[in-house]
Chains A and B, each alone.
Chain A
Amino acid sequence: MLHYAQIWFASARYSITRTLMFRGDFFVWAFVELFWMAVNLLTISVIYEHTGSIAGWSKYEMILLVGTSLLIQRFLMGFFWSSIFEMGRNIRSGHFDFFLAQPGNVMFMATTRKLDPDSLVNSLIAAGVVIYAARQLGLTPSAVEITLYALMIACGVIIHYSILVLSISVAFWMTSAQGIEGTYFTLTEFSRLPRSAFKSRATQWLFVYALPVVVVSNTPANALIRGFDGRLALWLAGAAAAWFALAVFVFNRGLRRYASASS
C-alpha cells in the first residue's frame, strides 16, 4: 500500500513539475474547464427565468446538483482522465508495453500516471458552487453529513472511473475504436438531471439503474438537501464496488489479449 502511495506521489510530483514548465497551457486549460462549468450553470439560470421548478427541484437545488456532478467530473478529470485517455492510444500504438514493465499493478500504473492540476484547481471552484448553492438554500450540514457527502462523491468518482476504464478497454479488442471516450461525455450529461425528471420506465431503468450516472450525482446532492438516505447510499457504495470489480475484470481480460505492436 505504502509502495503504491510512493509511486503515486512520485507521479504527482512529476505532473506538477510539468505543469510549472508549461504555465501558459495550465491557464488556458483551467479557463477551458471554467468556461464549460459556466456554460452549465448559465443554462440552469436561464431555464429558471422561465420556470419555477424542474421535476420538483428549485433553482439553487438544481445548482447544487449540477455543482455536485461537476465536482465528481473534475476529480475524475484531475486524477485519471489524461492517463486513461492516453491508455487507449498506447494500446493501439504498442506504447502500452511501457506500463507492463513497471513494478506494480498494471491498471494502477496505467490509470494514475498523470495528474491534471488545472482540473484539480477547478474542483475547488465546483466545490465553491456547491457551497454557494447550499448557503442560498440555508443548509447547515453537520460534520458527519459533510463527511458522508464526501464519501458519496468518492463512490461517484469510482463509478465514473470504472465506466471510463471499461469503455477504453474496448481498445484491447477493437483497435479501431477511436473516439470511444466521447461516449463518456454523453453519459455525464445525464448526471446533471434530477432523478425525478426520468418519467418513463425505460429511461429510469437505463440511466438510473443500468448505468448509475444519475444516482451518482443525485444521491449526494439529495443527502445535503433532503437528508441522508441510508438505503440509497448503500446502493451507491454497492454500485461502486460492482462497477470497479467489473472494470478490473474486463481490464485484465483485455490485458491477456494485448499483443503489443511490431517495431
Chain B
Amino acid sequence: MFAVLAKYRQAFLVGLQSNIVYRWNFAVRGFFSLFHLAVVVILWSAAAEGRTELGGFSLNQTITYFVTLLILQFFISAFNEDYQISEEIRNGLINQFLLKPINYFAYRFSIFVAARLVSGLLVFAPLLIAFPFLREYLDFPADPRVYALGLPAMIMSALIQFSIAYCFGMLTFWFLEIQGFVILSMAVETILGGQMFPLDLLPAWAYAIAKWLPFYYQMYFPAAIFSGRITDPAVIMQGYAVQAAWVVALLLVNHALWTRGLRRHTAVGG
C-alpha cells in the first residue's frame, strides 16, 4: 500500500516543482482575475442599488460568494489538464505508462493536486492586494462548522473537475482536436457551475434541474456552503450523496474511455 502511494508521491513532488516554475503565470492570472472581480462588484452593486437583497441575500453575501468562487477556482479548477493529457496522447508520451505499473489517472491526478496547491496558494497574493477594497463587501459565515462542512464538498468538486478534464483529454483517442469541445463545455460549466451568478437566483424549476447535474457539484456546491448560501445540514447531506454519485459515475466513464481509447491507440517508435 505504502509502496503504491510512494510512486504517486514522487509524481506529486515532480508536479510541485514543475508548477513552481510557472508561479509567475499563476500570479499574473490571479492578478487578472481581480479585474473580473471588479466587473462583478460593479455589476452586482448596480443591480442591488436601492434594494436590500438579491434573491434573499444581501449584496455583501453575493460579493462574498464570488470571492469564494475565485479562491476555489485556483484551488480545485482544472486549468489546462485536458490539453496536457491530450498532448501526451497525441505525442505518444502515454506509451511509457503502458509498460510501467503506474495508473495514468492516478499519476495525472497527483500532478493536478500539486498544481492546484501552487496556484491556490498564489491566488492569495493578488487577493491580499485587493483586500483593503474588498473588505467592506466580505461577509463570510462566522461559524467554523460551515468550513468543516464545505471541505468534503470541495474535495469531491476537485475530483469532478479533474475527471471532466480527463474525459475531454481521453477524447483525443477519437478526435485530433479537442479545443472546440473543451470551450463549448466551458460555456455550459460557466453557467451551470454558478460562475456567472449564484445558481439559487435561477427560476425554481431551473434550479431544481441544475441540482442534479454534475456542474452544480463541480463549483457551486462548495462555494455556496463556504459563503453561507446553503446552510441546512439536511440539504448539505443530500448534496454530498448526489456529488459522491457523480464522482463514481465520472470515474467509471474515465475508466471506460481509457480502456476503449487504448484499443484505438497505436504506439509508434520508442
Contacts and interface: CB of A to CB of B under 8 A. Distances in A.
Interface of A: 25, 28-29, 31-32, 35-36, 38-39, 42-43, 46-47, 49-51, 53-55, 179, 182-183, 186-187, 189-190, 193-194, 196-199, 203
A42 B42 contact: no
A50 B199 CA distance: 13
Interface residues of B, number: 33
Given A29-B180, A39-B196, 10 more contacts: A25-B180, A28-B180, A36-B187, A38-B187, A50-B47, A183-B32, A186-B35, A189-B36, A193-B43, A194-B46
A29 to B, nearest CB: 6
A49 to B, nearest CB: 7
Contacts of B174: none
Contacts, number: 83
A28 B181 contact: yes
Contact of B42 (A31, A186, A193): A193
Nearest to B191: A39
B112 to A, nearest CB: 19
Nearest to B181: A28
Interface string B38-63: 11001111111101001100000000
A25 B54 contact: no
A51 B180 contact: no
Contacts of A183: 32
A42 B35 contact: no
Contacts of B42: 193, 197-199, 203
A97 to B, nearest CB: 27
B45 A199 contact: yes
A236 B188 CA distance: 35
Interface in B121-179: 177
Contacts of B203: 49
A103 B191 CA distance: 47
B196 A51 contact: no
B30 to A, nearest CB: 12
Nearest to B55: A50
Nearest to B44: A47
Contacts of A28: 180-181, 184
A233 B187 CA distance: 34
B25 interface: yes
Main secondary structure of the interface of B (DSSP, over half): helix
16 contacts: A28-B180, A32-B180, A39-B187, A42-B196, A46-B202, A49-B55, A50-B55, A51-B47, A51-B54, A179-B28, A182-B32, A186-B32, A189-B35, A190-B39, A193-B39, A197-B45
Given A55-B49, A203-B38, A197 B43 contact: yes
A47 B197 contact: yes
Contact of B201 (A50, A54, A190): A50
Interface of B: 25, 28-29, 32, 35-36, 38-39, 42-49, 51, 54-55, 177, 180-181, 183-184, 187-188, 190-191, 196-197, 201-203
A54 B46 CA distance: 5
B196 to A, nearest CB: 4
A46 B54 CA distance: 11
B14 to A, nearest CB: 22
A39 B181 contact: no
A196 to B, nearest CB: 8
Contacts of B38: 190, 203
A35 B181 CA distance: 12
Contacts of A39: 187, 190-191, 196
B201 A42 contact: no
A196 B47 CA distance: 12
Nearest to B188: A35
A55 B43 CA distance: 9
A189 B39 contact: yes
Nearest to B184: A32
Contacts of B201: 46-47, 49-50
A197 B47 CA distance: 9
B190 to A, nearest CB: 6
A47 B47 contact: yes
Contacts of A193: 39, 42-43, 46
Contacts of A31: 184
Contacts of B187: 32, 35-36, 38-39
A198 to B, nearest CB: 6
A39 B51 CA distance: 25
A55 B35 contact: no
